[in-house]
Each structure stands twice: as C-alpha cells, then as structure tokens.
A and B are shown apart, each in its own frame.
Chain A
C-alpha cells in the first residue's frame, strides 16, 4: 500500500516540479523575446519568425566583419562589424545578430554577405529579390528613419544636408523639401523628408547626423509604421481599389434599421 502511495506522491511532486520549472523557463524566455527596438540585419524575417529561425551561429556577423570592404587601410585588418552578436545580460535575445546605426550603420553591400551566410533562413535572400529575380540590398527593410524636427537644425533654418547626402538612396528614400524661411525673408529651409516606401533602415543618416544626439533615428518597421486599416481606401487610386476586391469578411457589426439611422442623434450618448 505504502509503495503505491509513495509512487503517487512522487509522481505528483515530479509533475509539479516540472510544471514550475517550465513556467519559470517560459516566463524568462518570454521576457527575452520582448525587445521590440532591436534592428536586425538585411533580409531578416519578421521578429517573431526571426527569433525562432535564428540558430545563433553568428555567421552573419562573421561575414560582416570579414568582408573585403571592411578592411582598415592603415592596419590591413578587419574593422568592427556592423552586425553585433547579443551578449548575455542585455535585453536582446542572446546570440542573435543586431546593429546600432549610430555606432556603425549598415553599409548596404551589394553582394549582401550577411544574408548569404545565413544557413537557417532567418535572414532570407528571397525577401530581397527584385523584378529580375536578383537579390537587391535596396529591397531590404531593416527599419525606417524617423526625424525629430525640434533637434534637426535644418528645421531651424540652418543649412545642413548631412543625412541627405549620405543616404544610399538619395532623392528617393530621403529627399530635400524647399520651404521659404519667413523669419529671414530671404533664405529657404532645406528640410529632409523620409519616404517610407524606399527607406531601408540602413542608418547611414543616423550615424551622419551632426546633432549631439541624432535627430534622425532608425526604428524597426513594427514600431515606426502605422496602419490606416482596411476600411480607408483611396478612391482615386486604382491599385488601392484592388484591396476592396480582395478583401474578405469586412462586415459591420452594428445593426442598421431605418429608425436607428434617423434617431441616433437623439440617443443619450449624444
């Protein structure tokens, strides 16, 4: 009898311990997943898929460091790479690649050595294909540059186009908008404007910014981009009209009757 009781007790204890262990484990893991401000190398899948796909081999970082264009001409050795590997203790998932544009931006290598080196598919060359089925670094979307007007001296009326000039997609991803400076009456503002359809998030602008703390910063798409929702459609845009044809199950939940349409203004909420 007692052996059966022992068995049941031990079983319950083991199951309980395993559950507690799993919960703590999963809880800790969930925390390390929540690093929404991390910028990933070109070709990275969306953050959720990226975190499960990345096998943490760091071959992308090694390829980034040892690329031909990264050699210090004075010493003949490789410089620090753009792509760093997350260490223990930070809030970025350990072992995953990331970059910090203000320190070292992505130089947009045409042969994309980092994505090419990825064996697991976390950096996927297929996401970078252009019309000719060739991987093109300009198709990458690592993030989107966002401008803080108040600390950008171009918005003060001082001529500075550092970000504009350094942009690899000059006049496409970053354009200069001319605006009359009413204060002086004889100058014009040269205002940087980011085009989110073309901006790759390489961060060359963030590094080049002359402000003490960069006035143009790259944020991950998920953070920096809004979404208007499917119920706003550009009636003047034929492409946008296609969305209506393709959309499914867009129905309104409010019941419409003749009475409530005519009476809704009289209801208490108004």
Chain B
C-alpha cells in the first residue's frame, strides 16, 4: 500500500512543510524560510525569488534590486539543472487542490466526459505566458501577479485567505467539472515558465520497456499524460518539458518499468 504512494506522500510532506515554514516565518519570526514565492529569504541569508515574476517586472520597466535578481538565478539553476518542472508538483500549493480535483474526477468516473473547448489546449499556457509579458509592459506592473492563485493560496496560508479562497474553489470546480487538468495543464503561465526553465534538467523519469506490461496505469494518473508517449514503445527518459517529475507514474507502476533517473548529458547514452 505504502509503495504505491511513496512519492505522493513525499511530495505532500515537502509541500506542507514548506508552507508551514513560510507560515512560521511570519507568525513567529522563524528564519528558516521567510517571505512568499515572489521573494524569500532562506535561513535569513540566501535570497530566493520567482524568475517568472522578475521577467514580468523587467518587462514593466523597473530594474529590480540585486538580491532579487540573484535569488532568481539561484532558482533557475536549481530547477534548470536538477529538478526540472519539479516546482509544480513538489512545491506549489495549488497542486494539492488540482490533485484533489483529479482524484475526485476519477472516483466519480468523470474522465473522458469533459467538454472540449476548441481554444483551450495544453499549449494555451505558453500563449498566456507570452501575453503576460505584453500586458506587464502595457500596465507597467507584473501582470500575472495580481490574480495568481499560487501566491493567493500561499499568502492565504501565511496571512489569512479573505476573498482569495473563492479563487481556489473556482480552480477546484473548473478542474473537476470543466477541463481535466484545466489549470495546471492548460492555463498556468508559471507552470509554462518552469516547463521551459526545467526542460534540460538532470532528474527525469526513466522508462524500461522490457518490464512494461502495458497496463497503462501510469497514463491514468499522469497529470500531463502526453509526456508518457514512449510508454510501452521504447526505453529511455521522459524528455518532454511538461513532465513535472511528480513520480506518480513511478508510484503506480507495479512492473518496475518506471524510475527516477539522472538524465545523461550525452544524448547517445540514453538510446
């Protein structure tokens, strides 16, 4: 039983402890992690900041302080070199809501019954991300940040929710009754940014086709099921940048066909 939710459990532990540290940082001045995703201080010294917000602010025409820029570089290196799109599944609190929507969806057998919106594709998020830069330039302020449910939820946990709670209910209902993986998989520009930033990361899921029994359990649970195109066809690493490294496929695979691996720097090594 535990085997099948190993990574899911690990992710929840990471997500919840990060939020708890942020909460304690404000409520009791605990200095392990202070701030919000916009910019934080790790152990009171190391600056961390959201590179996507930084780009929006730069588009709005303001040169940010050196600490923020350094923090952005640290985050880009962390996800770019190591964790890939791991932010979405291991850190982002909204992931807990959309995962719950997905779980409920499976329990209610709603999958495959959703309305198909012609213009709502998985590529929409990249358009929204590009639009956010244009709108930032027009408005003279970071465009995604004034309704980002990610920071609304995080700030809600740290400072209290207010009306922001309804935004999160909205996302849950949209993902449950509207579009499967609607927010994280179609709309969220932050996810789009981390997809691009983490596209060449070392940590990636490795598939071993010889062990695969084609049960397709992995595709059922995967929030970005397009990335599992090589399943049951050929061995190798999941190289699509939308993979969030959440490890759900590794959890549900009973045939030892999926594992976390370190992607070789040489392409030939994988084949």
Residues of A that sit less than 8 Å from B by CB: 13-14, 17-18, 21-22, 25-26, 28-30, 32-33, 48-49, 51-53, 55-59, 61-62, 65-66, 77-78, 85, 87-90, 93-95, 118-121
Contact = CB atoms under 8 A, between A and B. Distances in A.
Contacts of B29: 62, 65-66, 78
Contact of A55 (B57, B152, B167): B57
Interface in B12-55: 25-29, 34-36, 38-41, 47, 49-50, 53-54
Given A22-B135, A121-B64, A48 B140 contact: yes
B152 A88 contact: yes
Interface of B: 25-29, 34-36, 38-41, 47, 49-50, 53-54, 57, 60-65, 67-68, 71, 119, 127-128, 131-132, 134-135, 138-143, 145-147, 151-152, 155-156, 158-164, 167
Contacts of B39: 55, 57, 59, 119-120
A57 B162 contact: no
A56 B160 contact: no
Contacts of B64: 53, 55, 119-121
B131 A87 contact: no
A120 B35 contact: no
B139 A29 contact: yes
B134 A22 contact: yes
Nearest to A58: B36
B155 A87 contact: yes
A17 B119 contact: yes
B47 to A, nearest CB: 6
Nearest to B165: A88
Contacts of B41: 59
A57 B135 contact: no
A119 B26 contact: no
A53 B57 contact: yes
A52 B67 CA distance: 17
A52 B143 CA distance: 9
A62 B26 contact: yes
Given A52-B141, A119-B65, A62 B164 contact: no
Contacts of B53: 55-56
8 contacts: A17-B119, A26-B143, A55-B39, A56-B36, A62-B25, A85-B159, A87-B161, A121-B64
Contacts of A88: 147, 152, 162-164, 167
B38 A87 contact: no
Contact of A21 (B131, B140, B164): B131
A85 B35 CA distance: 12
B54 to A, nearest CB: 8
